[in-house]
Structure 1
Amino acid sequence: MPVYRIIYSSRPFGYDSNMLNGILMQARRANEHDDITGALICREDIFLQLLEGPEDKVKNTIARIRRDDRHIEVRMHVEKHVQERMFGKWAMLHDPVATWIWTPEEIDHDAPARASEAEVTGFFQRLRDQAKAD
Structure 2
Amino acid sequence: MDLFRAIYSSRPFGYDEGILNSILMDARRANVRDGITGALICRADIYLQWLEGPEEQVRNAVERIKGDDRHLEMKVHVAEAVSERAFGEWAMLHDPAATWIWSQSEIADGAVDRATPEEITGFFLRPGIGGGAPDDR
Alignment TM-score, normalising by the size of structure 2: 0.93
Q: Which runs of 5+ in 1 are unaligned?
A: none
- CA 1:16–1:132: 2 relative to 1, 3 Å: closer
* Percent of aligned pairs with the same amino acid: 59
Give the equivalent residue in structure 2 for 1:62. 62
Q: Distance in 1 between matches of 2:132 and 2:66?
A: 33
In 2, the alpha carbon distance for the partners of 1:52 and 1:58 equals 6
- Does 1:131 pair with 2:130? yes
- Structure 1: distance between partners of 2:91 and 2:129: 17
Tell me if structure 1 keeps the 8 A contact 2:43–2:96. yes
**What number of residue pairs does the alignment pair up?**
133
Deviation, 1:131, is 2.4
Q: Residue in 2 aligned with 1:27?
A: 27
| Contact 1:2–1:84, Cα closer than 8 Å, also in 2 | no
* Cα distance in structure 2, aligned partners of 1:10 and 1:117: 15
| CA offsets 1:34-93 (integer angstroms, 9 cap, x no match) | 000000000010000000000110011000000001100000100000100110000000
1:117 and 2:120 correspond: no
Partner of residue 46, structure 1: 46
Is the 8 Å Cα contact of residues 38 and 52 (structure 2) preserved in structure 1? yes
> For the residues of structure 2 that align with 1:96 and 1:59, how far apart are their CA atoms?
25
Secondary structure class of the residue paired with 1:126 = coil
Give, in whole Å, the separation in 2 of the partners of 1:133 and 1:8. 22
Match status 1:96 vs 2:99: no
Matched residue, 2:76:
76
Match of 1:17 in 2: 17
Equivalent residue of 2:90, what SS? Answer: coil
Q: Residue 111 of structure 1 aligns to which amino acid in structure 2?
A: A
Provide the TM-score with structure 1 as the length reference: 0.95
Measure the CA separation in 2 of the matches of 1:13 and 1:109: 19
Which has a greater percent of helix?
1
| 4+ aligned runs moved over 2 Å, structure 1 | 129-134
Q: Residue 76 of structure 1 aligns to a residue in which SS?
A: strand
Report what 1:87 is aligned to.
87
Measured after TM superposition, the shift of residue 110 of structure 1 is: 1.2
